[in-house]
Amino acid sequence: MENILSGKKICILVASGFSEDIFSRIQKTLNRTGAVLKTVAPENGLVHGWHDRDWGHYFPVDIHLAEALGSDFDGLVICGGARAVEKLKGNLHTRRILRHFFEAQKPVAALTEGVELLVPCEGLSGREVGACESARAALAAAGATVVDDEPAVIDGFLLSMSAFGEDSIEIMIQHLAEDPSLQHAA
C-alpha cells in the first residue's frame, strides 16, 4: 500500500461537524500512500471535528471551498458527519466541485452521511450507490439505485459507503488508485 497514490492530489471535503474519527483515519493512512492531501472546507483557517457525541479537535484547512478547483485534484473524498453535510448541502461551491468530478469521471469516495451530497449531481441517475438511512429516499428520488446489502458500492468512478468499517480505508485507497477509464459502470 506504500506509495500506491504517490503524487496523486486528493481533496478531502469537510465542514465543521465532520466525523473526526473517519477523517483522522483517512488522513493518517493516505499520508502513508504518498498522496498529496488537501483539506477543503467552507471555513477559513480551522475546521472543527465531531467526536463521539461532542465537538472534537480543530484541524487546519488547506484551501477555502470557494477557492478550490476540482481540476486541481485527482480524487475526492467526502467525509461523513451529519452537521458537516448540512453545511455543505446548500453551498454552491460544493456542487461546483462535485459537478467537475462527475463530468471528468475522476474517483469520488462518498462516505456515510457524505453520500447525501451526491443528490443534486447530474449523472446520478441509473448509478448504484450505498447509502446511510438518511440519504436513501433522496438518492432514489434522484434516480440512483440504492444497494442495501453492501457497505461499499463501486459504480465506475463513484465509491459510496453506507458504513465505515475495517476494510473501508483499503477499499477507498484501491478506488482512488484505479484509472477511472478502466472502470465500468453497472
Residues 35-90 have pLDDT tens digits of 999 999 999 999 999 999 999 999 999 999 999 999 999 999 999 999 999 999 98
Global pTM exceeds 0.85: yes
Name the nearest CA neighbour of 153 among 105, 93, 110, 92: 110
Domains, the chain, in order of start with CATH, read 9-179 (3.40.50.880)
Query: Taking the CA atoms of the chain, what radius of gyration do you get in angstroms?
Result: 15
